[in-house]
Amino acid sequence: MKKLLTLLLAVSFSLAFVACGGSGAKEEAAETTEAVEETAEEAVEEMEEATEEVMEEADSVAAEAEEAVEEMEEGSEE
C-alpha cells in the first residue's frame, strides 16, 4: 500500500512540475517522465515481490490451520 502511495505521489509531483514548467519545460518533462517511468517500474517489481511473499505466507498459514483442524477433529473422535 505504501509503495502504491509512493508511486501515485511521484506521478502527481511529476505532473505538477510539468504543469508549472517554463520555456525549458519540454526537456524537463522528458526527464521527469523518464524518472517516473523508472520509479513506476521499480514499484511494480517491489509490489510483485511483496505479493509473492504474502502469498507464500498465506499458504503457510493455511497449511497450519488445516493441521490444527485435523488435530482438533482427531481429538474429538477419541
Q: Give 36-77 pLDDT, tens digit per residue.
A: 899 999 999 999 999 999 999 999 999 999 999 998 988 877
pTM: 0.52
The per-residue pLDDT for 25 is 61
User: Is the predicted pLDDT of residue 30 greater than 90, yes or no?
Assistant: no
Residue 78 has pLDDT above 70, yes or no: no
**SS3 of the chain:** CHHHHHHHHHHHHHHHHHHCCCCCHHHHHHHHHHHHHHHHHHHHHHHHHHHHHHHHHHHHHHHHHHHHHHHHHHHHHC
pLDDT of residue 9: 81
